[in-house]
Structure 1
Amino acid sequence: MSKNIAGKVVVITGASSGLGESTARHLVALGAKVVLGARRKDRLETLVGELRNAGGEAEFVVTDVTRKADVEALVQKAVSRFGRVDVIVNNAGLMAISPIAAGRTDEWDAMIDINIKGVLYGIAAALPEFQKQGSGHIINISSVAGIKVFAPGGSVYSGTKFAVRAISEGLRQEIGGAIRTTTILPGAVDSELKFGSQHAESAAFVQGFYEQMAIPADSVARAIAYAIEQPADVDINEIVLRPTVQEF
């Protein structure tokens, strides 16, 4: 248990695997109540069942973050079930690596819809509740690719993750005071993110890179918990974490 996490109500998108799943498990172990969103109902049902069997409090809502109404329903589930929401972790993401010249515009659209608009929908859904409560914490998952452009292949992905970092910093300036804003910028972390590329040559490179480099998803879960557990007057704005062997 963590005294600054125990009892907090945390909404997590992209919670059916990877960073989202690990964060849910870690925060519940520290006493948080979680409301989990993702598209795969079967994975959510299994995870919530395991968390409850271990004595945790957990709910889920099938959520596609590209649909504003879905994200609103996820946040409202937290409010209706637990009476409030303390933290939202905007974690859902897509990494579709390919050269710009390949012209995979459908993948560009999908990354913009999930990585940027999905984060904005999470902010839009949670912020009114935080303002009513006079407290709250928005945690957005960017990437080291939001600090340094990953090219060739990751130019559009980097663009979306730079956008998350910019939106988070602007949000901090606009709503600072009682509401905290944190951006998490991970390097190679073991998750399904590495399977997002359909461009064969890029996919082979990405998966090889992750096999050599990736650290466990609970590395990010611990970083998220660190940001949450700080006293209310401390706002951890950015956390960058990489495998020690990762140069990029």
Structure 2
Amino acid sequence: MTYDSLSGRTAVVTGAASGIGAATAVLLAAHGARVALLARRTERLGELAAKITADGGRALAVTADVTDEESVAAAVQRIHSAYGPADLLVNAAGVMLPNPVDDGRADEWQRMTDTNVTGALRLIRAFTGDLLAAAADGRSADLVNISSIGAHVVFPNYAVYGATKAALTHLSQSLRAELGPRDVRVTNVEPGFTESELRDHIDNPELTGQLDSMLDAVGLLTSEDVADLIAYTTSRPRHVNLRQAIVLPTRQ
């Protein structure tokens, strides 16, 4: 499928070093968007930017940590200097650290909250002005947040992760009420089991085994599957907002 209306747009994608973020950046660039790649891993970003460029696309690698205010501010300045204002923001940065709540791992709770919720808010604050300006100029303007089916479905030992994703889902719904009347589309995407590095964040062998058993039973989406949904959503006519998308492996 082609998404011709993405050509000429300027996209910012967080979590772009791997998984859904990387796949989304590649697909948007393949359809003519200029893409700013944000993540912490400089080497991975450089490799992805080189791949996009070699394939005829435009990409800017920007090392940034969404949990750090100064890092985000520096990234925004670099993007604006290179590409000007953005009209498409994809918040794909996320971390999943499942453990029983009674383990009391407050450091993990803070890390998930800082990345999955506050990190997204930092980027939203940074680029909302750009999105509103694009919309006021009659162009498409999109904010896409990558939440999770875990925002709705209870998984034991994933309480805090699920809570952060539920917060992001609710934030997306509330932002649509604020930004939609000004022609900025807000889309909340909730993937189910998806091939990514989130599994590698788990340090509990029992929980890793449980997850592997579930994945073996129902299968996985690829990151490209979710990226395709994002590209489809953001390439619709500007008066069409697919505000909520839950995408699951068929067996899940």
Q: What is the TM-score of this pair, normalised by structure 1?
A: 0.94
Structure 2 equivalent of residue 180 of structure 1: 185
Q: Distance in 2 between matches of 1:76 and 1:43?
A: 21
What does residue range 36-47 of structure 1 map to in structure 2 within 5 Å? 36-47=37-48
Q: Is the 8 A contact 2:12 2:90 kept in 1?
A: yes
> How far does residue 126 in structure 1 lie from its aligned partner after superposition?
0.7
Take 2:166 and 2:117, find their aligned partners in 1: how far apart are those partners?
10
1:244 corresponds to 2:243:
no
Deviates more, 1:97-106 or 1:107-116: 97-106
Corresponding residue number in structure 1 for 2:124: 123
Amino acid at match of 1:235: N
Unmatched 5+ stretches in structure 1: none
% identity of equivalent residues: 36
Where does residue 239 of structure 2 map in the other structure?
233
Q: Aligned pairs, how many?
A: 245
Partner SS state of residue 230, structure 1 = coil
Deviations 1:61-112 (A, max 9, x none): 1011101232233333332222220111000001111111222211111100
Aligned residue number for residue 158 of structure 1: 162
TM-superposed CA distance for 1:208, in Å, is: 3.6
Offset from partner CA, 1:134-158 (integer Å, 9 cap, x none): 35211000000012222x1111111
Retained in 1: the 8 A contact 2:16–2:45? yes
3-state SS, counterpart of residue 148 of structure 1: coil
Give how far 1:214 is off. Answer: 1.4
The answer for the alignment partner of 2:197 in structure 1 is 192
Q: Any conservation in 2 of the 1:75–1:85 contact (CA below 8 Å)?
A: no
Deviation at 1:211, TM superposition (A): 4.5
Deviations, residues 17-70 of structure 1 (Å, cap 9, x unaligned): 111111111111111110000111000011101111111100011011101232
1:72–1:122: 8 Å Cα contact kept in structure 2? Answer: no
Distance in 1, Cα, partners of 2:170 & 2:144 = 13
Counterpart AA for 1:225: A
Equivalent pair of 1:97/1:203 in contact (CA under 8 Å): no
Runs of 4+ residues deviating >6 angstroms: none
Deviates further, 154-163 or 74-83: 74-83
Could you say if the C-alpha distance between residues 158 and 52 of structure 1 is closer, same or farther in structure 2, counting changes exceeding 3 Å? same
**Structure 1 residue 130: deviation in Å?**
1.9
Q: Which residue of 2 aligns with 1:16?
A: 17
Cα root mean square deviation, aligned: 1.4
